[in-house]
């Protein structure tokens, strides 16, 4: 896709921001043709020993086989493509750290773990995972029979959480039919379900002890993950930036605002964001926020980079509540964020060229996109 077409995709998404009916919006409780897991996080100690893993579950409830095109995407939008084939009525699961027992490539094939940007001292691999039904030519198809679940297990601290992914239904054709233009998935409420215009976040202020009781002190924090629903996965791709604008109210209905720039994906503890998210500043134990992806010159890259597009964009998100007990024990709970309104997004990806005649077979396990095939 040319730069002109990439910009057109953004413009088209903006025009369609409020055109979809509510029933065409993305959901976390229905089956879909495309599943988007907004957060995957692996943690390691300084010696490379695994502290936290993530387990992905996928299921096909239709009585025939289906081919899936899937991508791991790290927080800087480095991506790795994996083919998966599910048989009729087949559920599968695997560890993101090892790829077992199902036998897909582990996330560590993309990059070695790196220091946690949030300063925990751990080494991490963070990002998200997208999977969608496709035909054998890798063109996206209607297959509203996919479900999934992600379970994060922290072995070091002895806690876990799980969440359902965003489920985008294909809205055109019959089961198995191609949808739209190959390699251009329009999350617009016409071809596929449409994302929300603003995300909704109900939160306990960082440092709040509002959940204390039974003679125990429990301190609250929230880990918020946001990902732009403008996703370019092609070899010659563009990167999208937006300003995450929080419209915040405390329990006394006093309003505030907070904002920060994100490119591709962001994960932040509210305690690290600080400001109005701290209990002493919010002045009540709990609050609520609407989160909007806005265009802002504040988020412009200096010097300008023609591959980076600064734009308003729909967001997907996950909130993980982190409760720390007075003896140091920690427990967590995850929630995929719902929202209000609608704003169109898209996914762009390369369709492999058909093979030429008389070309030797590629090494086993490698396909034309340089990816692992299951």
Please say whether the beta carbons of 83 and 67 come within 8 A: yes
110: pLDDT confidence band, cut at 50, 70 and 90? Answer: confident
* pLDDT on residue 22: 42
Distance CA 249, CA 253 (A): 5
* pLDDT on residue 181: 97
If we measure between CA atoms, which residue out of 79, 83, 70, 87 comes closest to residue 132? 70
In the chain, % of residues over pLDDT 90: 86
In this structure, are strands 239-250 and 286-294 parallel, antiparallel, or unpaired? antiparallel
Q: Is the peptide bond before 211 cis (omega within 30 degrees of 0)?
A: no
Q: For residue 111, how many other CB atoms are within 10 A of its CB? A: 13
Q: Which two tokens stand for residue 128?
A: 């998200």
Reported as a single tens digit per residue, the pLDDT across 29-82 is: 999 999 999 999 999 999 999 999 999 999 999 999 999 999 999 999 999 999
The helix (run of H) or strand (run of E) holding residue 282 is helix 279-282
* pLDDT on residue 352: 76
Distance CA 181, CA 360 (A): 30
pLDDT at 211 over 80: yes
pLDDT at 367 over 60: no
* pLDDT on residue 19: 44
Beta strands per DSSP E along 135-238: 146-154, 159-163, 166-168, 184-187, 198-204, 218-228, 230-232
If we measure between CA atoms, which residue out of 164, 42, 39 comes closest to residue 95? 42
Please say whether the beta carbons of 95 and 53 come within 8 A: yes
Reported as a single tens digit per residue, the pLDDT across 140-189 is: 999 999 999 999 999 999 999 999 999 999 999 999 999 999 999 999 99
């Amino acid at each position: 896709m040319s730069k002109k077409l990439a910009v057109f995709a953004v413009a088209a998404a903006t025009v369609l921001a409020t055109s979809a009916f509510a029933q065409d919006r993305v959901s976390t409780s229905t089956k879909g043709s495309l599943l988007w897991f907004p957060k995957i996080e692996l943690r390691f100690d300084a010696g490379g020993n695994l502290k936290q893993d993530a387990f992905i579950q996928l299921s096909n409830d239709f009585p025939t086989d289906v081919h899936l095109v899937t991508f791991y995407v790290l927080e800087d939008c480095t991506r790795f493509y994996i083919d998966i084939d599910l048989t009729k009525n087949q559920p599968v699961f695997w560890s993101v750290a090892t790829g077992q027992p199902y036998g897909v490539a582990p996330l560590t094939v993309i990059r070695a773990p790196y220091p946690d940007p949030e300063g925990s001292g751990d080494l991490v691999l963070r990002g998200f995972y997208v999977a969608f039904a496709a035909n054998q030519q890798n063109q996206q198809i209607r297959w509203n029979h996919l479900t999934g679940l992600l379970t994060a297990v922290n072995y070091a601290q002895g806690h876990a959480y799980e969440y359902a992914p965003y489920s985008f239904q294909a809205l055109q054709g019959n089961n198995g039919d191609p949808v739209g233009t190959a390699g251009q998935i329009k999350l617009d409420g016409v071809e596929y379900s449409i994302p929300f215009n603003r995300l909704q976040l109900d939160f306990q202020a960082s440092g709040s002890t509002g959940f204390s009781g039974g003679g125990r002190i429990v301190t609250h924090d929230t880990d918020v993950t946001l990902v732009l629903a403008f996703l370019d996965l092609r070899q010659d791709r563009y990167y999208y930036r937006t300003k995450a604008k929080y419209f915040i109210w405390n329990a006394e209905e006093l309003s505030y605002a907070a904002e920060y720039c994100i490119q591709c994906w962001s994960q932040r503890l509210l305690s690290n964001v600080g400001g109005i998210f701290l209990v002493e500043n919010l002045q009540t134990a709990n609050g609520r926020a609407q989160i909007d992806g806005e265009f802002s010159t504040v988020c412009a890259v200096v010097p300008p980079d023609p591959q980076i597009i600064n734009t308003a964009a729909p967001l997907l998100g996950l909130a993980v509540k982190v409760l720390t007990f007075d003896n140091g024990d920690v427990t967590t709970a995850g929630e995929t964020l719902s929202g209000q309104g609608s704003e169109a997004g898209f996914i762009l990806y390369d369709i492999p060229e058909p093979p030429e005649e008389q070309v030797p077979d590629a090494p086993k396990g490698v396909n034309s996109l340089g990816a692992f095939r299951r």
